Structure 1
Amino acid sequence: MIEYFEQLTQEEQEDLTDVIRLLYRQTFLLERKFDKRAGRLQYQREYRICEKHIDFLKMYFQIAGITLCENVHLGLIYIQDEMIWGEKLPRLATIYILLLKLIYDEQMASVSSSSQIVTTLGALNGKAGDFRVLRSIPSPTEMKRTIAMLKKYQLIEPLDLLEELNESTRLLIYPCIHAVLQGDAVREVLESFGNSREEEEETLGDIG
């Protein structure tokens, strides 16, 4: 493995090191990301580098007990371990991730020819209402903070300005969401969220 690395040019070694650091930092690499200036998805250089050296990288991460996964169909490369997130996610972020996964799966099932799935903040909060996982609509500040966090992890890309956040704000759901949970498991987790909230409300009602 060391021999493979040493045979690369200095530029290739630096590129590979940058990709490894990037995967540790953000978990996912997308083949294409949305470019607001161009108004379309653009191919990512880091993904091509990772794809070129995929066998080496799989062995490299395996030493640390980490699995490097590749989904060619979705244009997605990611590392998988017991703790995929580098920080503890707030409740709203967790709920939004589960709902986004559900929306992604539903739209992919009806439009299987495209991995570009777009939803709105209103539809996301509407799903939250369907599963009764939120007591009320989150504050604009909390929603902005959560959307920014999910963008950081490359799960979504806001297509409209966050400063003008409203129910019509469009969210492009990246294929990274595919690596969260299977559809049935997502529904079970969401239902458990809803049940725990109802139990909490009943307890508070009894106290009152």
Structure 2
Amino acid sequence: MIEYFEQITQEEQDMLTEVIQTLLRQTYLLERRYDRRTGRMQYVKEYRTCSKHLEFLREYFAIAGITLKENAHMGVIYIQGGQVWAEKLSRLATIYLLVLKLIYDEQMASVSSSSHIVTTLGAINGKAGEFGVLKSLPSVTEMRRTIALLKKYQMIEPLEALEEIKEETRIIIYPCINAVLMGDEIRKLLATFGEEDNLGDETAIQSAFEDLSE
């Protein structure tokens, strides 16, 4: 494995190091991301690097008991095992993440032929309201902070500047939502949020995410 790494160019070594650090930080890589400047989905160089050296990276992560998987159809490469979410989530961020997964699955099951889905902030809040997990509409500041966090981890991409965020704001849901949350237990988890006010406050609910992604 070390021999393989030493045989590639310095530029490729640097790219591989960046790919490994990104996977350990956020657990997945997207094949394409939205570029607001061009208004199009653009290919991500880190994904190409990872795909090119996939077998090497699988052996590398296997040493730490981590599995590297690729879903070429969805355009996602992700790791499982170990800590799958490094940053603790607020209650609202956790609720939004669960709701985003539901919206993603519902639209993918209908007529979508794309690996990414577009929704609105209003639709997210409305879906959360259906489950009774929001007592009232969050403040603009709280929503902006939450959207910024999910954008940081490439879960979503708002199509407007965060300073202009409103209910009508369109939001891309990336397919990597499946690398964090999988399975039919999400509705049950949301129902639990509605029943117990103390769940999710500054907690990662990491064990729940890990159970769903197995």
Q: Report the TM-score when normalising by structure 1.
A: 0.91
State the Cα distance separating 1:119 from its structure 2 match. Answer: 0.4
How far, CA to CA, are the matches of 1:152 and 1:27 in structure 2? 13
How far, CA to CA, are the matches of 2:181 and 2:37 in structure 1? 32
Structure 2, unaligned runs of 5 or more: 199-214
| 1:42 partner amino acid | Q
How far, CA to CA, are the matches of 2:159 and 2:57 in structure 1? 32
Deviation per CA, 1:141-161, whole angstroms, max 9, x where unpaired? 111110000001110000012
Q: Larger Cα Rg: Structure 1 or Structure 2?
A: 1
Instruction: State the number of aligned residues.
Output: 198
State the Cα distance separating 1:133 from its structure 2 match. Answer: 0.4
SS at match of 2:20: helix
Matches within 5 A, 1:108-187: 108-187=108-187
SS at match of 2:145: helix
Matches within 5 A, 1:195-206: 195-197=195-197
Structure 1 stretch displaced more, 116-125 or 2-11: 2-11
Does structure 1 retain, via aligned residues, the 8 Å contact 2:32–2:42?
yes
Deviation per CA, 1:78-130, whole angstroms, max 9, x where unpaired? 12224211111111110000000000000000024211200000000000110
| 1:103 partner amino acid | I
Q: Which residue of 2 aligns with 1:6?
A: 6
Does structure 1 retain, via aligned residues, the 8 Å contact 2:28–2:179?
no
| 1:91 partner amino acid | R
SS at match of 2:88: coil
How far, CA to CA, are the matches of 2:165 and 2:141 in structure 1? 9
SS at match of 1:178: helix
SS at match of 1:189: helix
Structure (1 or 2) with the greater helix fraction: 1
How far, CA to CA, are the matches of 1:55 and 1:101 in structure 2? 29
RMSD, aligned α-carbons: 1.4
Q: Which residue of 2 aligns with 1:206?
A: none
Deviation per CA, 1:152-184, whole angstroms, max 9, x where unpaired? 111000001211111101110000111233342
Structure 1 stretch displaced more, 30-39 or 11-20: 11-20
Does structure 2 retain, via aligned residues, the 8 Å contact 1:118–1:170?
yes
Structure 1 stretch displaced more, 78-87 or 41-50: 78-87
| 1:49 partner amino acid | T
How far, CA to CA, are the matches of 1:114 and 1:90 in structure 2? 30
Structure 1, unaligned runs of 5 or more: 199-208
Q: Report the TM-score when normalising by structure 2.
A: 0.89
Q: Which residue of 1 aligns with 2:65?
A: 65
Does structure 2 retain, via aligned residues, the 8 Å contact 1:19–1:49?
yes
Does structure 1 retain, via aligned residues, the 8 Å contact 2:120–2:171?
yes
Deviation per CA, 1:29-48, whole angstroms, max 9, x where unpaired? 11000000000100011100
SS at match of 1:56: helix
How far, CA to CA, are the matches of 1:183 and 1:144 in structure 2? 28
Q: Deviation above 3 Å: which 4+ runs of structure 1?
A: none
Q: Which residue of 2 aligns with 1:101?
A: 101
